[in-house]
Chains A and B, each alone.
Chain A
């Protein structure tokens, strides 16, 4: 049976993992994303996502170096994203060792990017990331760009459908209102999205405890759950989450 995936996510700035790792013990500090990747991989992570949040081109080069080093070490799929806006960006990340490339603002502004990338490199490597925010008046979800700084007034579900038609292989869906709260994933948004498109959904935003993974992978109908701080802060571990899911009958890949 196809299993539900648990995916740790790293934010990479100038070649270092930066988000939420400040107070970790030194063995997993920000300076060594490769070691961190290896630890997650050994703990049974099903994939890894690296998001490049570098502002400068030098930072991007540093990130590519991290991608190369991580890709050489881990034996699970690696998705890389952040600032992808051209087919050349996609190619360059794939050549650095990414298995899939996540595109967000770049794809929304130029949907052809999805089509061209899918055609050239295959649908399997095109992940369309959507940041969605609940619209208080309409009760629908708006697409947010540039890390939530810019609203679009476009419906997130409609955009996901379009992205799937254009050749997206997967949707990485972040709930803006839940992100960073650690109060649980947005089950309403995730299940609405899962019902609307026939490609896998990775849920993101809000994980704070192992129960949240269970909720989003069952009631939320997600195919995979992504989390950053809850793992980096060691509040729970990939192994604990998977063990919890397994005990409750959710199919997961188990690594001894």
Chain B
């Protein structure tokens, strides 16, 4: 089963619809209690977790904290369950964001979230082509340089470790991380659920990763 965490701001319709199109139903969890109940009833059945996210970074973190979902994410990572952050959900994986102030994130990956310079049109909105793709990565199987995906964001990630960036896109003269991944923690800055066939390929790859035995996915990607 795939669990979608609902930080309470966004519309989960698209993510659920996207998963459905690749043949996976998902369960939505909005707080720690629901998560605990789920694990009690069906321990071990959670194969993957998606952290979507729209809206502001600070609000999303506050919601995650208030609902106990921060500790859920910690459990997910400790239990070696694949985790996929989408858009702001990907940004939340990092240490800190400077969106309207300074907000600590989940700090699963080193790096910070900053605003595009004023020289670029903000938000970075629309279809942009990937300029680098680590195509042997299991999340990016059948995804290639030049493939178009749909972005909409005003802030972007500056990753401390280049190895965490597994696909990038160019905007405003900046090489922007489009997909990040370390261990079983992944993120896409774009919306795979709105990115046509390419997005569906990525969702399908993630769904496939969630079906692998934990031991098989523990290699150091």
* Residue of B10, B124, B126 touching A3 (CB-CB under 8 A): B126
Cβ–Cβ contact B128 & A2, under 8 A: yes
The closest CB in chain A to the CB of B54 belongs to: A122
Cβ–Cβ contact B152 & A124, under 8 A: yes
Q: Give chain B nearest CB distance to A163 CB in angstroms.
A: 14
Known contacts A96-B13, A198-B118; is A255 also within 8 Å of B125 by CB? no
Question: SS class of chain B's interface: helix, strand, loop or mixed?
Answer: mixed
Q: CB-defined interface of A212-250 with B at 8 Å, one 1/0 digit per residue?
A: 000000000001100000000000000000000000000
| A46 partner residues in chain B, CB cutoff 8 A | 126-127
A119 on the interface (CB 8 Å rule)?
Answer: yes
Residue pairs across A and B with CB atoms within 8 Å: the count is 100
Which of B88, B128, B150, B154 has the most chain A CB within a 10 Å cutoff?
Answer: B150
Chain B interface size range: 35 or more
B75 on the interface (CB 8 Å rule)?
Answer: no
| B195 partner residues in chain A, CB cutoff 8 A | 75
State in angstroms the CA–CA spacing of A200 and B153 once bound together: 12
Cβ–Cβ contact A200 & B126, under 8 A: yes
State in angstroms the CA–CA spacing of A41 and B196 once bound together: 8
Known contacts A75-B199, A199-B123, A253-B127; is A95 also within 8 Å of B11 by CB? yes
Stretch with Cβ within 8 A of A (4 or more), from B16-24, B42-50, B64-72: B16-24
Chain A interface size range: 35 or more
Considering only residues 169-192 of chain B, those with a C-beta below 8 Å from chain A are 170-171, 191
* Residue of B9, B13, B118, B150 touching A76 (CB-CB under 8 A): B150
* Residue of B10, B122, B193 touching A199 (CB-CB under 8 A): B122
B211 on the interface (CB 8 Å rule)?
Answer: no
Considering only residues 92-136 of chain B, those with a C-beta below 8 Å from chain A are 118, 121-129
A/B interface sample: 7 pairs, CB < 8 A: A3-B148, A46-B126, A99-B11, A122-B9, A170-B125, A223-B126, A253-B127
Chain A positions within 8 Å of B, measured between CB atoms, are: 1-5, 41, 46, 71-72, 75-77, 94-99, 119-125, 169-170, 198-200, 223-224, 253-255
